[in-house]
Amino acid sequence: MSKRRTHMLARLGGLALLLAAASPAGADVLLLKDGRILERAGMERTDAGIKIKFENGDVLVPHDLIEEAVLESGLAFEPKTPEEQEKAADGLVPFGGQWMARDKAEKLLAKRVEERKAAVAEMRDHMVWRSRYKEDTKHFAFEYTVSPQVYRYYADLMEAYYEDFAKTWKIKQSKELGRLRVCFYGDRENFMQTGGVSGGVLGYFRFVKPIELNFFYERSDPDLTEQVMYHEVNHYLQMLLKPEFNMPHFPGESIAEYYGAAKFDPESKSITTGHILEGRLAQVKAEIRAGEMIGLQKMLTTDGMYEHYSWGWTLVHWLMQDKKQRDTFVKFVKALVFDRKVRREPSIAGMTTVPMSEVWEQFKKFFKLKTDDDVKAFEAGWHKYIQEDLNLVSARGLADAAIHAERQGLQLKAKRLFSEAIEQGSTSPQVYLRYATYLTREREYAEALKLLEKAIEMAPLDARMYASLGDTLAMSGKKDDARKALQLAVELDPDDPWLASEVEMTLKHLDEK
């Protein structure tokens, strides 16, 4: 398990259960590492985690997903060893790592439960934007509705990211702009409503005054949250080179993608760059297999080109790996910003930029591409790097490639890649779910059910996992088990109308058989 996963696991789904408007009388409190809160009576502590009882079955939340659990039944225990039996006979119970009299332990437990419930109530109040938390760090002014522990991780990450970028690019915080305002939403719904964006937007940097960064915490894929954050913050960091300059689409977007693959170590609070952005690489490799090879001149003369995110990233990755090329690339970018001899033109909001034709001329100048043969040789080195040195190596990369294959209608390839991602050790419940879907279609029910059970172990509160399990059980002929799984899905997320409708249709179909 990675250090990131150790510090903050976030692989769960379903919000209705976890954001109850008020604490039920006698409710236990479960705080998850991804910041969500569950208050429900009748939780039970087990060796494997916390067991939650529902009408249609029990749900086990493992320890590695739990930040804290305060149970009103916290003093219940069954003495097993002779020593424990002797202590119990003396009226002692284990509490807080020591043995104490039951009445004292009961008072301490009651106090702890009330304190945690008060803290939970405060956290819930801050989950709406009008009551958001506000906190400043050295370079950022955060406003957020995520939990304090999730915020702290990202605050440390972004400060480390700023310092790492500053070492290479020699940026300084602008006195005029001050700290960057960062609006960090706890979920997509609040991001869309408050940020006023469409469903496909994951985050954005507003580069005209008042400048600000907006993004949300995607609990089902926190790695994606980081990737989006790295990319969008990078536009701000580029802006600090010269706030009145609007970086051209290349190299701007390609640099942002390069830094989008950064990794944060929460223990050392440090950033490493130069990692593989495997979703982009999967896309580039697919285009190469289809006979598409983007040329250097085309990419550096075409404004707004989508390939600046993919092929442009590979070019920047290549240039940043070698110190000599990296130094030349940094000088090239800074020349676009500062060199008075570079041809510029007006841009949005009174800013200036460099037209792509001039970007190409400056690139050739700095990399000494004086002839067509020089361009071809440089281009060949870049293309060779893509084909020989950039490879999909992780479970995440294989899963990204599988999703890309699905979008292209390559179902057999997608199935194979999902299988390879699992073999590589994927920890994403969505990967197990999607591969199980393929197996269910092919009537390989036994193997599909194993995968769905594994997905549920990873995301035990995700209602749609149970709905998928119920569908597969129904198709395999296990009607009673299917009903329980489907009804448990609705219990877990009773406020999802689409889920309720799907479950109702499946249950009706089961009754008709």
Quick: pLDDT tens for 393-409.
688 888 888 887 887 78
Mean of pLDDT over the chain: 88
Measured between alpha carbons, how far is 493 from 56 in angstroms, rounded to an integer? 13
Measured between alpha carbons, how far is 461 from 489 in angstroms, rounded to an integer? 9
pLDDT above 70 (res 2): no
Rg of the chain's alpha carbons, rounded to an integer? 27
Half-sphere exposure of 35 (CA within 13 A, CB side): 24
CB within 8 A of 404, min separation 6: which ones? 279, 282, 283, 286
Q: Which two tokens stand for residue 187?
A: 């979920």
**Cβ contact 493:499 at 8 Å:** yes
SS3 387: helix
Half-sphere exposure of 360 (CA within 13 A, CB side): 13
CB within 8 A of 490, min separation 6: which ones? 463, 499, 500, 503
* Angle (CA) 315 317 320, round 5°: 110
pLDDT above 60 (res 24): no
Higher pLDDT, 328 or 36: 328
CB atoms within 10 A of CB 119: 16
Measured between alpha carbons, how far is 479 from 471 in angstroms, rounded to an integer? 10
Measured between alpha carbons, how far is 415 from 438 in angstroms, rounded to an integer? 7
Q: For residue range 227-284, what is the model confidence (pLDDT) as tens digits?
A: 999 999 999 999 999 999 999 999 999 999 999 999 999 999 999 999 998 888 988 9
Q: Which two tokens stand for residue 202?
A: 């994951």
Which is nearest to 261 in space by CA: 270, 250, 272, 251? 272
Domains of the chain, start order: 79-125 (no CATH), 129-243 (3.40.30.160), 425-512 (1.25.40.10)
Helix (H), strand (E), coil (C) string for 7-62: HCCCCCCCCCHHHCCCCCCCCEEEEECCCCEEEECCCEECCCEEEEEECCEEEEEE
> For residue 133, what is the enclosing H or E element?
strand 133-136
pLDDT over 70 percentage in the chain:
93
Measured between alpha carbons, how far is 37 from 25 in angstroms, rounded to an integer? 16
> For residue 304, what is the enclosing H or E element?
none
49-54 sheet: strands from edge to edge: 44-45, 49-54, 57-62
Higher pLDDT, 268 or 72: 268
Measured between alpha carbons, how far is 432 from 435 in angstroms, rounded to an integer? 5
- Which of 100-104, 132-136, 191-195, 316-320 is predicted least confidently? 191-195
**What pLDDT shows up at residue 329?**
98
Q: What is the DSSP letter of 211?
A: P
pLDDT above 90 (res 70): no
